[in-house]
Structure 1
Amino acid sequence: SIREIGERFGIKSTKTVSEHLQALADKGYLERDPSRSRGVRILGVDLHPQTVSLPCYARLPEDRARMRADGAEMFLTIDRRLAGDKGGYFVRARESDLPALGVSEGDYVLVEPVSKDELEDGAVVAARVGESPAYYQYETNGKGAVLKPLAGGEQPTHVEDPASISLLGRVTAVYHKMDGGVPVNVTPH
């Protein structure tokens, strides 16, 4: 309760506690529900050891430094075993993002931080090449690296020094919502 928070932090005024909570909500650290008593939910903090809350962005961020919890459109809570490394995040896919991989509009793409040394040929990465970030297939050759765009219609980018790539992370999973007419064989085995 607000009174308990005040007691814990030595604040006598419940109004002051409420103002502090609102400031934290404005910064994106918590969410307040005025319709409920004690309606406070901490964002980005894992309260269950088996799950993790990851931020979800409407589009790929320009770079890793600009990613903040207050820029996330929501948080998705998933099993920790599926989330991978710390610092991962979701991006809500647009229709043109990854059509070659069967990713549809509204799917959630999980991107995990990765160093360039950890990349293997064929990895799907989120990277910034030029003006805006996009998804690429990463491959190496004797002269450096090749980033093949997965959105289609663009030519591969040859990079002599792979260290110069502005890497946002490696795509490790796609969460696809199955609503609609997907043919399924329901014959028991």
Structure 2
Amino acid sequence: MSITDLQSGKGAGNENFPVASKLIAPRHRPPVMAFYHFVRAADDVADHPTAPAGEKLALLDSMRASLTGESDAVREGVALRVILAERGLSPVHALDLLEAFRRDCTKLRYHDWDELMDYCRYSAMPVGRFVLDVHGEPQDLWPANDALCAALQIINHLQDCAKDWRELGRVYIPTPLLEQAGVAVDALGET
């Protein structure tokens, strides 16, 4: 199984947000698009409904190796690695996202808000941090970025909760919140 085999067919025009919109200066669009293509490929791997977790994890490891220069096996990883090097940017945000995607392969429930926020630390916050870094913004903007990105991630989880439950058996809504609302996990598939 390859990364190509697991592609969803989703592209920049199918996202809930504009990718490298005209609001981003043209000189910043190439790294944003390289980051997007890498992350989209990794997300497709993690969210593939039938691929076994072990195979997904192996593919994500291959992506990591291509990003860090240990391999040239994954074109999206190589492309991002090259543009990061050209721009003097760190791969840390892409590596953080890979951690979130690894969790997506094996973790199906979040037991409390802190656990969900820790997931968002890897799944959402790095996206905004990367965009800030591309634009040369200071890290003191990260707290505001992190709050916004976590909020958008949770909204996305709520939007996709029925699909995530039906297709992946994954529920991001913390279990106690469901219990407090008197909602069984199975009810998520009814929406």
Please classify the TM superposition score into its range, dividing by the shorter chain length: under 0.3
Q: Normalising by structure 2, what TM-score?
A: 0.24
Q: Normalising by structure 1, what TM-score?
A: 0.24
Determine which structure has more spread, i.e. the larger CA radius of gyration.
1
Structure (1/2) with the larger helix percentage: 2
Structure (1/2) with the larger strand percentage: 1
More relative contact order, 1 or 2 (CA 8 Å, 6+ apart):
2
